[in-house]
A and B are shown apart, each in its own frame.
Chain A
């Protein structure tokens, strides 16, 4: 990454917004994008994730079924023309439930990842920039929270305070910002001794402006890779909660709840209650991991080529 940032005209740096639109002024991002789209697995990952977003949020508009009223006369019926993936033990269409369950999983994954990035990058940037005793104290806090098995705490809080999309996103976000914080701190430590940061400081930038305009946009590649893994972890964690029976409260549910409901019928051979939900979880999580891996490789190229 060395050497490019100082050569940019200062006016452009000043105009660079929060980080999302820097692509147009740094050729490195275009390079990374090209590398990313050449990676076949990455394209598969993006396509899968896109498919599931459409499946969950647009699907219910096309595939209209009644998800509220039980109908015991058709309970646990196998896949047929009227119910493409059969019905559950209350006669509700499984495909429709999968769409609705996926909404919760994707929303929680997305919100908690956003929260993790915002908290993590600010915390890491402040810790790295301030340095000294404050830095050690802030990082020991991260050490403490990292050594606590977070699934346990998420379960305890979910049991005590109830689980909704918002509360689960908050709890998961509150425990997943730790790794981004460490990564961003590491990145800031190497960035803050660079000339362009010194130049910005001499030009009179305050700490906030330094973090916001100069450090975070440059640490963005580390953050973006981590986000995709965070989304995957959050979707898995929600599935665990749902499977153990401490997930979202009815009428909200996610894929884990559906799967857990299906396990009662494992011996009856009602496969459509278990495996479709399982496949949804695996494919979504795998898509996020594939995108993350490919992004890491692509951004690595960006760093290498410079």
Chain B
């Protein structure tokens, strides 16, 4: 177990180093130096060379990569000269709101997907199962923004029960309390996640239902409710752990679209605005953070799975 964990962490570190090389090379290619932006159009070549030397944008690619990595390891993700703020400060203002949006919708999605998947597996090929499968299939093929637009049209414009824009407050507590404006983004995002999850949950529950211990539980006369709660639920949920770990890139991309459509000032909207400003330090820093989160998510999911399922013996 310890050996496995150590090796798993080792590969993760290798992958993270690879990611840092990739993001550095991408940044280096698309945006070699901010000197021209900082010093202005009339700056002399000598001044630009001097600025590059001082700020670590001169020298070989390896030296520049080292400078970049040194900064990243010391908590410096870069500096946005267009907003005149450090990237860390910009992220710091917004990450809690994005985390709330993703976290709440992921939680809601799990609360829907797990019972739904079990229901579909138990009532296999019934009308309810078929309806749920078709809906999930449609939502899976639907671009996020189309669902948001339909929801806004129905709930915010036609019936006016919910807000068409997410909460604009800068305080997380106010955002959380503003259920009228936050319902649409959270529920829509959750539904899209459910579309991806429920098919896995259904097949996991079906696999579990075919196991002998379910037969044994039924044979000893346990009520069906207890069979499902005590024996099926926990075992059928195991694949969800891996799935949640794998869903981080999709969550980040989902956040980007949701925050854009609902005008929610989180990391996704910051990324969108930076795309419009061509503010590459922010864009690449967010890509780096997203990629590292993905690796950590996978690692955590693997570890959590070995804890949750003692049958898994890894060497």
Contact = CB atoms under 8 A, between A and B. Distances in A.
A160 B283 CA distance: 11
Contact of A244 (B152, B272, B286, B287): B272
Interface in B131-182: 137-138, 140-146, 149-150, 152-153, 157
Contacts of B287: 148-149, 152-153, 156
A281 B278 contact: no
B157 A267 contact: yes
A140 B145 contact: no
A151 B144 CA distance: 13
Given A152-B283, A160-B278, A266-B149, A147 B141 contact: no
B140 A289 contact: yes
A149 B255 CA distance: 12
Interface in A139-178: 140-141, 143-145, 147-153, 155-157, 159-160
B271 interface: yes
A256 interface: yes
B1 interface: no
Contact of B18 (A141, A151, A245, A263): A141
B143 A149 contact: no
Nearest to A155: B275
A148 B26 CA distance: 12
A263 B268 CA distance: 19
A148 B149 contact: no
A44 to B, nearest CB: 12
Interface stretch (B39-47, B57-65, B118-126, B290-298): B290-298
A152 B146 contact: no
A282 B275 CA distance: 26
Contacts of A267: 157
Interface string B1-39: 000000000010011001100110010001100000000
A106 interface: no
A155 B142 CA distance: 20
A274 B143 CA distance: 13
B18 A140 contact: yes
B252 interface: yes
Contact of B275 (A141, A246, A256): A246
Given A148-B22, A152-B290, A266-B157, A240 B143 contact: yes
Contacts of A222: none
A167 to B, nearest CB: 14
Interface string B256-299: 11001000000000011001101010011011001100110010
B253 interface: yes
Contacts of A240: 143-145, 253, 257
B249 A266 contact: no
Chain B residues touching A, majority SS: helix
A13 B294 CA distance: 43
Contacts of A282: 138, 141-143, 146
Contacts of A150: 249
Contacts of B157: 266-267
A151 B153 CA distance: 27
Interface residue range, chain B: 35 or more
A181 interface: no
Given A144-B15, A286-B141, A153 B257 contact: no
Nearest to B158: A269
Contacts of B26: 153, 156
B275 A244 contact: yes
B146 A148 contact: no
B285 to A, nearest CB: 11
A42 interface: no
Contacts of B278: 159-160
B146 A281 contact: yes
B85 to A, nearest CB: 20
Contacts of B146: 259, 278, 281-282
A156 B283 contact: yes
A150 B150 CA distance: 26
A294 interface: no
A266 B145 CA distance: 13
A6 B249 CA distance: 43
Contacts of A159: 275, 278
B230 to A, nearest CB: 33
Interface in B299-313: none
Contacts of B152: 266
A243 interface: yes
Contact of A243 (B23, B143, B298): B143
A140 B141 contact: no
A246 B276 CA distance: 9
A266 B153 contact: yes
Given A144-B18, A148-B287, A266-B149, A156 B143 contact: no
Contacts of A266: 149, 152-153, 157
A236 interface: yes
A152 B141 contact: no
B294 A149 contact: yes
Given A148-B23, A240-B145, 12 more contacts: A147-B249, A148-B22, A149-B253, A149-B287, A150-B249, A151-B253, A152-B283, A152-B287, A153-B287, A246-B275, A278-B142, A290-B137
7 contacts: A151-B253, A156-B26, A240-B143, A240-B144, A256-B143, A260-B145, A289-B140
Interface of A: 140-141, 143-145, 147-153, 155-157, 159-160, 232, 236, 239-240, 243-246, 256, 259-260, 263, 266-267, 274, 278, 281-283, 285-286, 289-290
